[in-house]
Structure 1
Amino acid sequence: MSPATWSWIAAAASIVGLWISGHNPRFGWIYGIASQAVWITYGLATTQPGMIALSIAFVVIYSRNIYRWRGTRFQPAAAQPLPTTDGQP
């Protein structure tokens, strides 16, 4: 697979991870750890050691987040009414 293809796959994996984190942080962090395999593969395919180092740092940070927030129950925020254009709540 070409480096350009790998970069698109890796970018898509990261975007999906951000979306997932907005809905369920714990699962988002787990997904983030797993998605680093794509970035490491990209770093190896393009011989970019900095990309590999960055992916390892992300794994450490995601792991730290999972550890620090263990036991926390994540709940969606309550829906807020949209403001009106006439200045009335």
Structure 2
Amino acid sequence: MTVPDEVRAVVHGHVQGVGFRWATRGRLAELGLDGSATNRTDGTVEVVATGAGADLARLVSWLRGGGTPGRVTRVDVVPRA
């Protein structure tokens, strides 16, 4: 059995109250990833996802690519150690 990869991303910008979490959860499902998108008290959104490495890379590209609701200014990605 293959252990899935995991990525945690903290998304900065105007990403709360604009449908960002909803859209991210939809993208997770489209890519066949398990995960969540959660508002943080500092105004960022934390995205945690597990699955195949190539699909995680697609997710990160999507988060950074500008096709998301709101306005993303920075995405900090921390792969599982």
Q: What interval of TM-score do these two structures reach, taking the shorter chain for normalisation?
A: 0.3 to 0.5
Structure that is richer in helix per residue: 1
TM normalised by structure 1 equals: 0.30
Larger RCO: Structure 1 or Structure 2 (Cα < 8 Å, ≥ 6 residues apart)? Answer: 2
Structure that is richer in strand per residue: 2
TM normalised by structure 2 equals: 0.32
